[in-house]
Amino acid sequence: MSQSSSRYAHIDSLRAIAALLVVWMHTSEIFVKVAAPGISNSLFSIAHTVDFGRVGVVAFFAVSGFVIPSSLSGDRLSGSLSFAIKRFFRLYPLYWLCIPFGLLTTWYLWGKEVSLQTILWNLTMVQEAAGFVSIQGLYWTLQTELVFYGLCVLLFLSGGLRSPLVLAVLVFVCHGTFLMPLVLGFLGLPAPFELSPVMNFLLLHLGIMFWGALYRCWHDLEKGSLFLAVLVFGFALGWLSLAGLVVAYDRMIEPNEGLFRLYVPYGLGIFGFLVLAQWVRLRGRLLVWLGTISYSIYLFHPVVMYPLLWLVKHDASGLLRGWPLWLYMVMTLPGIVAVSALTYRWVEQPAMRLGSRLARKPTVVLSPA
């Protein structure tokens, strides 16, 4: 392991934990329907109440903020082109491979139909922006990533990507806009404007990513800056405090599942990222390796779990039904890891190497005759 990769091994571990939380959420929520009633069903209850899947996604977004802006370097134009090439080959080849498997395991296997137009739009990764459903619901996060990449390139070209002030303003604008209706509603005041839920959540997630980038600035460049530390840690403590207030309101005043499952996962995801990135730096080899293949785990875990659910539901003997929930979850995990290891080895790695080679090719400059 190189010095650079060793330095950030804990970030790979964080990716692994985020991916496993998503897997926990999804496997528990589908297998609880066929599992025997029992105490192990609390594995679903806990994951559903806290929304482990959302906690994992929030951590993923913060990791993207920590990692992605720092990968833009060099001359502005050539650096942007190199970044675009590398990110294309990082995301799209595996994503394209996932689509036919997603069609088979989440649509055709269950007798559901999907239009050719929907399939073709899914190839772009921006299908939901065009009004088409994703072949697998979790693809929505990739569209958010693309928006973040585009904004990072614009900031890099304008010289603002390394500016803590610019990043702090973006975090404030994104999350201030998202939280404004809540604050004004609490004060009994009307909001001056109303955004669509999709735009609201896009701003929320972009704000988390820019906060991750702000933390990277403090981590790498400006650790001596008290002001920057207050911004970084104050943001995380603010979200954790908001989550705590929502829990108190839910338990002591009036239960509100919608409010609880919105603010609590974000508070836990943001603060959990900070804890694991700053203080509890896990570097176990297995966890680091799982983090390395976490993109494959994220995309392909439904491809493994839905056929297994189909087998359980169509088992004529009934031998596969009525197991404890924990057993279904444990038995699904090796298949997910095995498939992800294969797709990482034979698709992700070659695609990334190709992207790196293409990005290193010198730009041809045409001189006038």
The pLDDT tens digits of the residues spanning 323-351 come to: 999 999 999 999 999 999 999 999 999 99
Question: What pLDDT band is residue 8 in, cutting at 50, 70 and 90?
Answer: very high
Place of tokens 């950030």: 8
What confidence category does residue 368 fall into, taking pLDDT thresholds of 50, 70 and 90? very low
Strands of the chain (E only): list them: none
Phi/psi for 160 (5° steps) reads -100, 0
Helix (H) or strand (E) holding 122: helix 116-122
Cβ proximity of 337 and 290 under 8 Å: yes
- For the segment 276-295, the average pLDDT, to the nearest whole number, is 98
CA 5 to chain centre: 21
- pLDDT, average across residues 201-224: 91
Q: What is the mean pLDDT of the chain?
A: 94
- Predicted structure pTM score: 0.95
For residues 260 and 54, what is the distance between their CA atoms, to the nearest angstrom? 12
Q: What is the pLDDT of residues 86-112, one digit of tens each?
A: 999 999 999 999 999 999 999 999 999
DSSP state of 346: I
